[in-house]
Structure 1
Amino acid sequence: MAAVATAPMTPKLSLKLLIDKERNRVVFAETDKDFVDILFSFLTLPMGSIIRLLGKKTGVGSMDRLYESVAKFDERCFKTPACRAMLLSPRSEAEIRCKGLALELDEESEPWIYYRCLSSRSYCAVSSVFGARCPCGGTTEAPILALGWQGCEGSENGFVRDSVNFIVSDDLVVRPASIGASLALINELGIDDGNVLEKKTVHLNREEVLNLLKRALVSNIPLTDVFLQEPDTIDCAEKLPTKNIIQAREKPKISSDNNLKIPMKLFLSKDTDKVVYAEASEELVDLLFSFLTFPLGSIIKLLGKRSSLGCMDNLYKSVELLSSPNYLISNECKEMLSSPKLAPFFGVDKQLLHIEEAFPLSIKSCACKTCFSFSSATRCLHGHNVSSFNLMNPKLQNSGIERGGGYVKGMGWFLITDEMEVSPLSPITSVHIINKLMVPISGLEEVTASLGEAEALDLLRACLISDEVLSDVFSPNLLRLLQQNWLGFFPCKSDG
């Protein structure tokens, strides 16, 4: 009898839960390194990768629409063919360290694969991004495999030490496991009768971890949502009072050497005090699109650990709670979680928010053009000699190795809607937007503005929590109050 083929087993991860039966709520989870590493890996994911992994249904403000704008953006408006791919699938500085986790979240990410140009005789072009332009005119499409990663081979994977157990509260505060910490969580929930508590073991696969990521972005009880609630019964996240959050925010300290301002025009509705749309240069579009490349941990740090992203702030603060070398593997791991950098070449020239970009590594490639190494080896696994090559910047037209550059061509002005739909400027499109919102053309007012670091921070915050980003940041109700502080001169509306 012929053997029956069986499907490969899907990796699963066990998790012990303590449950309050009366409230049908998770009190805490007891776990080891594997689950905590996965939770902390959320902080290293760029926002664009999170949106892609969750099928463009994150529920995070206007970020999904910003991502869709990149997908629909006219290819001729990008500086190089690789720019769109960089924004839709941004790489992570921590991708090598996350590759050895118990469950792999991003199956498309291949940190061990780089790309070379097939038509380049000198084999001069090596890129971390598929489809980057080679100096010879071709594109980097042939994959080459890594021989190893210097400093990682034989080292401990992930972020926390293997010998420690942890407890994770329903709102994702991670603590070292102890009787005292467990009793404190029980007391915080007002549980006096131990008979209402029961233990339950659940088994997670990749899909359930992605569901946990999705709920953690919008909910304060993601463990309960994922493991105790039916998907159809989970309430949508309550809309946050965005204007109050933006007005109440503490102004960031603006460095004296950063006087960069990005000009823009706002078209306001006199009747509703809302921004209908904005016109701006490629500098603002680059800034908005770059939000997709920001690692989640860097966003939380920029917003002072008050991101309003579900309970992700708690997860971020847990890194500080576990800063002792007894828990985190190294200071490098702590920095990778609390101040994650942009992947090499993902920064833009006029970035107002100061997220550091990782330095590109020099790689060694072999004569057979099928593998490469970051180590000091002089021969590959096939016995061929290896030579050093620098990674090139996929955003640059000349395929240079210097950092910086932008994603969008400077070909005029672009149209940005209140909901973060971005497109090349089109008078017909602007009329369509006006008609769609049923705004009388005579009821529009044009206002000139300049955008600096404080406004950029407000834009980022509003993109995370609002469906009316421009209105929440630039509403006429705020223009008079903020005129002297950070927007420069605005033509005042007539008192009549």
Structure 2
Amino acid sequence: MGSKPVHLKVFVDKKKKKVMFAEAEQDFVEILFSFLTLPLGTVARISTKNKAATETDTKVGSLSSLYESIENLDNKHFSNEHCKIALMNPNSSSLALCQKLKINLNSTKPVEASDSTHGDVVFFKKKTSFIITDDLNVIPVLLDTSITLLNFLGVEFIDLLEERTMDFGLEEFSSLLKWSLVTNTPLTNMVLGGSKPCSCSSCIKTSTTSNLPLVTSYPTQRQKVKLLIQKSKGKVLCAQTDNFFVEMLFSFLTIPLGNAKRLTTDNSSPTGIDNMYNSISSLGDGKYLKSEEIKNMLLCPKLASNYLRVTDLLPIYDKSTNQGCFLKEQGTFIVSDELEVTVSPSLSTISKFNTLGIPVGDIEVMEVSIGEQEAILILKASLTSTTALTDCLSSFKNAKSLI
């Protein structure tokens, strides 16, 4: 990126094999908070780009498969040559401000800011030191809050912890971003080399429609999708769908992470990114963040203005946004459980299932109804799970078997 790394001081309990907490200056925390301004397509792109640089699982839920399927989809299927580019390198409404950060993950091209800019505060009113817990709660260093936190963590003597100073560049922040999406101990997993995060449906708690916020901004018309289900395992093999469903999936990549968390967080099983999101709410009391606009930019970042409204199933657009589309014309698509999108179904799809040992008699065709709540559930699952459709199957309404 042409920028100097920033530093993080971590305190490790060697017996517990755990990072108890870390200490950072505001420049590190500002980059951490900028995660929320990243469009989900950028999150997927960063992971794909850094495959060779890390031994950890590079998949970000089902977003990685969705992103790679757009990369592999022929240009002839898009409305124009700019649509594919706009999905693979999504614009950010916060780019101008994030360019002032020491390390800008939001940029599609390397941006080197001046040394004087690198020394300035961007989100905060002044230079401040922070304590960051293993689960990414961010707390200003104050005597009373520090003592309370250390007592809560069970740390009696800081001197007994191993102190390490780490340099963070683009690669390290990218790794921390990925861990923050899938675990509640992202610092420990990153610093001490955690195992690959599990992304199977049996290990990830998916919300039901009852405990997600109702965020309808205007009435939406429900749409039908046909699912191929492996009856013996209750697993979605794929979906056969028209343009509307694929347009909705493609729109995921344009949504800033902070907006996605606003729509999908239910606090039942928080990850590091959820805790960080809540920390910003606590810091937005007028004492630390520069303005209410900064707070809103982080907690509810807007889509970049160049994106037209391609779906009515997600409340992510301003009401004044004009209708548009990524795809050129109506067609039939196959969407895998991992949200890989391919064009036109064929017998080769069924043959593929047979190759996997799934007989035709074990395949059931089910029609489900998709509305706003179902769309939000799929969005939530796509952030952490590689079986996004299966995770949401029990929550789909008005499901009926066609065979």
Residue equivalent to 2:272: 311
Query: Does the alignment pair 1:215 with 2:176?
Result: no
Note if contact 2:60-2:178 (Cα within 8 Å) is conserved in structure 1.
no
**1:87 to partner: Cα distance:** 0.8
Deviations 1:78-112 (A, max 9, x none): 11111111111111111111001112334534899
Deviations 1:109-150 (A, max 9, x none): 4899xxxxxxxxxxxxxxxxxxxxxxxxxxxxxxxxxxxxxx
Residue equivalent to 1:273: 234
Query: Does the alignment pair 1:93 with 2:93?
Result: yes
SS at match of 1:215: helix
Match among 136, 150, 153 for residue 186 of structure 1? 150
Residue equivalent to 1:325: 286
* Range moving further from structure 2, 311-320 or 252-261: 252-261
Q: TM-score, normalised by structure 2?
A: 0.86
* Range moving further from structure 2, 248-257 or 268-277: 248-257
Note if contact 2:182-2:271 (Cα within 8 Å) is conserved in structure 1.
yes
2:154 maps to a residue whose letter is: G
CA RMSD, Structure 1 to Structure 2 (Å): 2.9
Write the distance in 2 (CA, Å) between the matches of 1:210 and 1:243: 22
Q: TM-score, normalised by structure 1?
A: 0.71
Note if contact 2:251-2:310 (Cα within 8 Å) is conserved in structure 1.
no
**1:328 to partner: Cα distance:** 0.5
**1:310 to partner: Cα distance:** 3.3
Write the distance in 2 (CA, Å) between the matches of 1:55 and 1:243: 22
SS at match of 1:54: helix
Change (3 A) 1:446 1:197: closer
SS at match of 1:246: coil
Change (3 A) 1:270 1:16: closer
| Structural mapping, 1:220-235, within 5 Å | 220-227=184-191, 229=192, 233-235=193-195
Residue equivalent to 1:354: 315
Residue equivalent to 1:5: none
Deviations 1:361-402 (A, max 9, x none): xxxxxxxxxxxxxxxxxxxxxxxxxxxxxxxxxxxxxxxxx7
Residue equivalent to 1:375: none
Query: Does the alignment pair 1:17 with 2:10?
Result: yes
Note if contact 1:36-1:160 (Cα within 8 Å) is conserved in structure 2.
no
Structure 1: gaps spanning 5 or more residues: 1-7, 113-152, 360-401
Write the distance in 1 (CA, Å) between the matches of 2:307 and 2:17: 44
Structure 2: gaps spanning 5 or more residues: 52-57
| Structural mapping, 1:337-348, within 5 Å | 337-348=298-309
Query: Does the alignment pair 1:173 with 2:83?
Result: no
Residue equivalent to 1:456: 375
Change (3 A) 1:93 1:467: same
**1:221 to partner: Cα distance:** 2.5
Residue equivalent to 1:29: 22
Note if contact 1:93-1:358 (Cα within 8 Å) is conserved in structure 2.
no
2:232 maps to a residue whose letter is: D
**1:13 to partner: Cα distance:** 1.5
Note if contact 1:344-1:357 (Cα within 8 Å) is conserved in structure 2.
no
Query: Does the alignment pair 1:446 with 2:365?
Result: yes
| Structural mapping, 1:83-122, within 5 Å | 83-109=83-109
| Structural mapping, 1:110-149, within 5 Å | none
| Structural mapping, 1:57-72, within 5 Å | 58-72=58-72
**1:188 to partner: Cα distance:** 2.1
**1:458 to partner: Cα distance:** 1.5
**1:40 to partner: Cα distance:** 0.5
Match among 412, 422, 433 for residue 341 of structure 2? 422
**1:282 to partner: Cα distance:** 0.8
Note if contact 2:209-2:374 (Cα within 8 Å) is conserved in structure 1.
no
Deviations 1:216-235 (A, max 9, x none): 222323233333x2xxx421
**1:243 to partner: Cα distance:** 7.3
Deviations 1:46-94 (A, max 9, x none): 1110111122654332111111111111211111111111111111111
Change (3 A) 1:404 1:111: farther
| Percent of pairs with identical residues | 34
**1:254 to partner: Cα distance:** 6.2
**1:406 to partner: Cα distance:** 1.3
Residue equivalent to 2:54: none
Which of 1 and 2 has greater Rg? 1
**How many residue pairs are counted as aligned between the two chains?**
389
Change (3 A) 1:423 1:322: same
SS at match of 2:28: helix
Residue equivalent to 1:336: 297
**1:263 to partner: Cα distance:** 1.9
Deviations 1:268-311 (A, max 9, x none): 23333322221111110010111111111111110135496730
* Range moving further from structure 2, 195-204 or 38-47: 195-204
Name whichever structure is richer in helix by fraction. Answer: 2
Match among 488, 491, 495 for residue 398 of structure 2? 488
Change (3 A) 1:19 1:460: same
Write the distance in 1 (CA, Å) between the matches of 2:143 and 2:93: 36
* Range moving further from structure 2, 284-293 or 343-352: 343-352
Change (3 A) 1:444 1:411: same
**1:205 to partner: Cα distance:** 2.4
SS at match of 2:101: coil
* Range moving further from structure 2, 216-225 or 304-313: 304-313
Residue equivalent to 2:214: 253
Write the distance in 2 (CA, Å) between the matches of 1:282 and 1:161: 46
Note if contact 1:62-1:464 (Cα within 8 Å) is conserved in structure 2.
yes
Change (3 A) 1:183 1:71: same
Note if contact 2:337-2:386 (Cα within 8 Å) is conserved in structure 1.
yes
SS at match of 1:346: coil
Deviations 1:427-450 (A, max 9, x none): 134223322332222333322222
Query: Does the alignment pair 1:162 with 2:126?
Result: yes
Change (3 A) 1:358 1:55: farther
Deviations 1:454-483 (A, max 9, x none): 111111122223222222222xxx3xxx6x
Deviations 1:404-431 (A, max 9, x none): 3111123321111222111111313422
